[in-house]
Structure 1
Amino acid sequence: MPAVKLRLQVFEFEDLPWFPAVIRAGMMDYLRFMISWLGTYRPVAPLLAQALRHTHQTHLLELGAGAGGGTETVLAALRAQGVPDATITLTDLYPQPAAWADVARRTAGAIQGHAPPVDALAVPAGLAGFRVIFSAFHHFAPPQAEALLRDAVAGGQGVGVFEGAAKSWLEIGLALTVLPVAQLLLTPFFRPLRLSRLVFTYLLPIIPLATMWDGSVSILRMYPPEALLALAQRADPAGSYHWQAGQLRHWWGPRVTYLVGWPTVPAS
């Protein structure tokens, strides 16, 4: 299936400040369930473990975490890769404290949420850790995407960008057909169970319709590896970081697009 070459900066509902929080939370719950269930980000664990060793860290600071989808899978995979002390802090401009509390409970506190809103383009100095962003980098237009990377460089922090898809027409087709059916079938199994999620999925199907739109637009907004590297080079004009970008294939077919970077001279 051919790749989608065009990048369109079309809006996503979840980015809009006025978008109802209850609908956004329902969409995030679905994404968390699917990404975790499918193990979407398991293939990035060896790469992340290598980056953590280069930066002498065991803590990840997740930006744009949404409901924390897939983070538990990443934590387990990192520990299997020889990082037994790995921990993760979840942050977002629109925090999801209920979802994060559920993740914290299931991981015995190894994954914790940071309640105040966090702008990924200007991370507070007190929030340390190797910065990662899963399934959210496409939300940023090129100037903001570059600023996010530049902020990590300015803070001397390692950074990893991961999108759980490749930019192809096949993936857009799945977002419009198979995934909405899965959403309708699986929603009753999402935990914690919320009446609002059932109402806005089945009685007034705003959650699945908005998810279909955002899922398709997400792929159109994605940066391919060469564009990610170009952003990194502009964010790091001094060349003080090691950067690499590419795609990793999951055993059952889908690919993860990634960019990782860390200081060539780690902070003492």
Structure 2
Amino acid sequence: MRRLHLFEFEDFSWFPNWLRDYGTDFLRAISNRADYYEHLIPLMREVLERSNEATFIDLASGGGGGWEKILRRLIPLRPDVRVVLTDLFPNNAAFAKLESQFPAHVTHCAYPVNVLDVPSCLHGVRTQFMSFHHFNPLDAQRIVSHAVAQRASILVVEAQERNVFTLLKFILLSPLSVWWLTPRIRPFKWRRLLFTYLIPIIPAYLLWDGLVSVCRTYTPEEMLDFAHRADADRLYIWEVGRITGKLLPVIYLLGYPIESAGDDAGSC
């Protein structure tokens, strides 16, 4: 299936923040329910050890989806692990909620952080969960190249694949999952119910953005091509893979310097 770089509503600066936050709240809830990233824990532990790092700098975090389940599994293995949540449109309420659950392990940047120009004061393994597809090939290349230029390890994860089968799954399951899960999302908000059931703006925008996400998703081979272009001197170890999940397959790109010397996490 050929990649199509169509638009997603949440990419636009004019898109209402409250509506974007409702969308990222849903994605966080469904990620935790589906437990997409269960089988990534050994990989995440490995990249910390090989990079001599203890911190993940999570880019384009959305609502922080997936990190609750990840941390509950990872903390017993790495008690020193830390996560810094960032986004160009930070969902600070969702970030604060995750911080309250893991006060010793999670912090966030309340200001916008552009994944195309990550501040040098943010040291750690760079992660992107379900966000890499938002970027066109030129910018996707810039993301990987920027990590290599700053000698940062990087883990890119997508919980979907670009094919007709995944598109059909989204068409059938997206509206049903939104309608079923919305009353269970916390904090409870009446306006969330209004725009889900009476005026179904939220299910409509999530369905469109979900379908476009599938059309935009890069294949492992395409991600590996970005990596090799960024790392012309072959100073990194690169790995791509596919893990079968409960609902959708998880694909990933992992890269870390062959010789790593970790620094303490920075904040700015």
Q: TM-score range by the shorter chain?
A: over 0.9
Give yes or no for the alignment of 1:93 onto 2:82. no
Task: Give the conservation status (yes or no) of the 8 Å contact 1:156–1:267.
Answer: no
User: What's the RMSD between the two structures over aligned residues?
Assistant: 1.3
Letter in structure 1 aligned against 2:112: P
Q: 1:26 aligns with which of 22, 25, 34?
A: 22
Change (3 A) 1:253 1:20: closer
Q: Which amino acid aligns with 1:12?
A: E
Does the 8 Å CA contact 2:3/2:162 hold for their aligned counterparts?
no
Q: CA shift at 1:109, angstroms?
A: 4.0
Q: Is the 8 A contact 1:22 1:196 kept in 2?
A: no
Cα shift readout 1:51-91 (whole Å, capped 9, x = no counterpart): 111011111010000000101112223235x2222111100
The match for 1:60 is 56
* 2:263 is aligned with 1:242: no
1:253 Cα offset (Å)? 5.6
Pairwise mapping of residues 97-246 of structure 1 onto structure 2 (< 5 A)? 97-246=92-241
1:256 aligns with 2:250: yes
- CA change 1:184–1:49 in 2 (3 A) is same
For the Cα contact (< 8 Å) 1:65–1:92, is it kept in 2? yes
**2:50 maps to 1:50:** no
Q: CA deviation at 1:163?
A: 0.3
- Given that 1:160 and 1:261 are in contact with CA atoms closer than 8 Å, whether structure 2 keeps it comes out as yes
Q: Shift of the alpha carbon at 1:232?
A: 0.7
Gaps (5+ residues) in structure 1? none
Mapped partners of 2:106, 2:10: distance in 1: 23
- TM-score, with structure 2 as normaliser: 0.94
Q: Within 1, Cα distance between the matches of 2:177 and 2:45?
A: 32
Identical counterparts, % of pairs: 37
Distance 1:111 1:179 in 2: 30
Gaps of 5+ in 2: 263-268
Inter-partner Cα distance in structure 2 for 1:198 and 1:112? 30
Deviations 1:93-119, CA, capped at 9 Å, x for gaps: 000101111111122342222101000
Most deviating of 39-48 and 63-72: 39-48
Output the CA distance in 1 between the equivalents of 2:74 and 2:141: 27
CA distance in structure 1 between the partners assigned to 2:71 and 2:95 by the alignment: 14
Q: Whole-Å Cα distance in 2 between the matches of residues 254 and 176 of structure 1?
A: 14
1:71-82 aligned within 5 A: 71-80=67-76, 82=77
Aligned residues: 262
**Separation (CA, whole Å) in 1 of partners of 2:72 and 2:81:** 9
Equivalent in the alignment of 2:265: none
**Shift of residue 267 of structure 1?**
2.6
**Which residue type is aligned with residue 65 of structure 2?**
G
Moved more, 198-207 or 183-192: 198-207
Aligned amino acid, residue 259 of structure 2: V
Do 2:174 and 2:206's aligned partners in 1 also have CA atoms closer than 8 Å?
A: no
Superposed displacement of residue 44, structure 1: 1.1
**4+ residue segments displaced more than 6 Å:** none
Distance 2:193 2:208 in 1: 19
